[in-house]
Amino acid sequence: MTWFIVKALLSGVIVAAVSEMARRSPGFGALIASLPLISVLGMMWLWHDTHDPDRLAAHAGATFWYVLPSLPMFLLVPMLIRGGVHFWWALGAGCALTVLLYTMMTMLAAWVGLSL
């Protein structure tokens, strides 16, 4: 349980730091947010917990495929906000689009035999 708390605290500090950086400099905050920090931490925690190279490789590979359908959200949200849509509606639409694209990616992966 202690290890879980350490992981949660460190991960939370990173998210909080990114939001503080973005408040001061949106571009720099975006740069930091675009880094695969959470993915790298996830791989580190997974390796620490399992030392299973096959599981880690499967996780890293699946992460690549799931990043792709999340990218359009980062185009849709600013487009909607600049078009006058309230932040929460724009974010909701971006999240809905991402869920739809995740679903499509999962179905497409199964159809082509890619294990996610």
Residue 67 in domain = yes
Q: Give the Cα separation of 107 and 114 in Å (integer).
A: 10
Domain-located, residue 115: yes
Is 94 within the bounds of a domain? yes
pLDDT at res. 17: 86
Whole domain around residue 64: which residue ranges? 53-116
Residue 25 DSSP SS3: coil
Asked whether residue 34 is domain-assigned, the answer is: no
pLDDT tens column, 37-82 = 888 888 998 999 999 999 999 999 999 999 999 999 999 999 999 9
CA 28, CA 32: separation in Å to the nearest integer? 6
Tell me, yes or no, whether 73 lies in a domain: yes
**End-to-end alpha carbon distance in the chain:** 28
Query: What pTM does this model have?
Result: 0.76
Q: What is the DSSP letter of 72?
A: T
User: Is residue 43 one of the residues assigned to a domain?
Assistant: no
Question: In the chain, how many domains are there?
Answer: 1
89 located within any domain:
yes
